[in-house]
């Protein structure tokens, strides 16, 4: 199976549309979209993003922002800016879309891949930002493969099955990386709607579960369109500005 792996759309419709268009332009064929959560929060188009995602065959997890909007997390655990938009989002979402989010789980197994929003052991909150946290999480993988989001930074953590050593690497764009059976992997496609690696382009990846390859892509999108909607909705400036820098 070929899966388009997306995460952290964050209600950024222009970015989500650009990713689907970019995949089409590159003639990437895929059977499913696997979305790793945080469909909403931060951005101005929560309903439209859920509705666009639902037009394609997909699996979607819940992330911490989705839970915050649903009231499943204490908003006090959030930065004030994120809290403001979570409350706004709660008011905007249709009953049907709220039900859709409510039905998502934070972690699920698809084939040999454990999908988790944040980390295999703490699917809602834990950031896997370095090899030591990755190493602890490799102990929670049934078959040695996980897909995570949450950090909004594309990265591959690979653990040598023999030595236990863990390495992190940033995947090159457009070049399939062969997933070696001698390693365990935690793969993060980066963020669609609010990238944080200094590249403002929307990030996504293609996973081929038969050929066992992972390919990273970036798609440019009209950032100013999303920013104009955020401004019109009265969102905090820092959330608007960061999209220009990918931070
Ligand atoms: Zn997120």
Measured in Å, residue 59 CA sits from the centre of ligand 1 at 17
Which of 108, 112, 104, 106 has the alpha carbon at shortest distance from 208?
Answer: 112
Measured in Å, residue 120 CA sits from the centre of ligand 1 at 16
User: Does residue 175 have a pLDDT over 80?
Assistant: yes
- pLDDT tens for each residue of 86-104: 999 999 999 999 999 999 9
Measured in Å, residue 61 CA sits from the centre of ligand 1 at 12
Structure confidence at residue 241 (pLDDT): 97
Structure confidence at residue 77 (pLDDT): 78
Structure confidence at residue 101 (pLDDT): 98
What is the average pLDDT across 153-174? 97
- pLDDT tens for each residue of 194-234: 999 999 999 999 999 999 999 999 999 999 999 999 999 99
Measured in Å, residue 39 CA sits from the centre of ligand 1 at 8
Measured in Å, residue 133 CA sits from the centre of ligand 1 at 18
Residue 52: half-sphere exposure toward Cβ, Cα within 13 Å = 20
d(CA 73, CA 77): 8
Structure confidence at residue 74 (pLDDT): 82
Measured in Å, residue 7 CA sits from the centre of ligand 1 at 8
Region 2-245: CATH code: 3.60.21.10
What is the average pLDDT across 176-181? 96
Ordered alpha helix ranges (H), the chain: 13-25, 46-53, 64-70, 80-92, 95-102, 131-138, 223-232, 237-245
User: Does residue 78 have a pLDDT over 90?
Assistant: no
User: Does residue 142 have a pLDDT over 80?
Assistant: no
d(CA 9, CA 150): 10
Q: pTM of the predicted model, to two decimals?
A: 0.97
User: Does residue 11 have a pLDDT over 80?
Assistant: yes
User: Does residue 52 have a pLDDT over 80?
Assistant: yes
- Each domain of the chain, given as residue ranges in start order, spans 2-245
User: Does residue 69 have a pLDDT over 80?
Assistant: yes
Structure confidence at residue 30 (pLDDT): 98
């Amino acid at each position: 199976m070929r899966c388009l792996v997306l995460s952290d759309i964050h209600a950024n419709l222009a970015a989500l549309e650009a990713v689907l268009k970019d995949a089409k332009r590159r003639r990437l064929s895929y059977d499913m979209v696997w979305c790793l959560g945080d469909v909403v929060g931060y951005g101005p188009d929560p309903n439209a993003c859920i509705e666009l995602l639902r037009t394609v065959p997909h699996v979607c997890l819940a992330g911490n922002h989705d839970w915050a909007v649903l009231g499943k997390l204490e908003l006090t655990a959030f930065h004030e800016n994120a809290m403001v938009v979570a409350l706004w989002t709660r008011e905007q979402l249709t009953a049907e879309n709220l039900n859709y989010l409510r039905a998502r789980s934070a972690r699920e197994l698809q084939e040999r891949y454990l999908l988790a929003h944040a980390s295999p052991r703490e699917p809602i909150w834990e950031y896997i930002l370095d090899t030591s946290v990755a190493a602890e999480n490799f102990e929670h993988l049934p078959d040695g493969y996980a897909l995570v989001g949450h950090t909004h930074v594309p990265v591959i953590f690979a653990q040598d099955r023999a030595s236990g050593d863990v390495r992190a690497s940033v995947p090159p764009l457009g070049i399939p990386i062969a997933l070696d059976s001698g390693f365990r992997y935690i793969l993060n496609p980066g963020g669609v709607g609010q990238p944080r690696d200094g590249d403002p382009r929307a990030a996504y990846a293609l996973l081929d579960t038969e050929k066992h390859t992972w390919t990273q892509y970036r798609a440019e999108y009209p950032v100013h369109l999303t920013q104009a909607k955020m401004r019109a909705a009265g969102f905090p400036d820092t959330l608007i500005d960061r999209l220009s820098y990918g931070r």
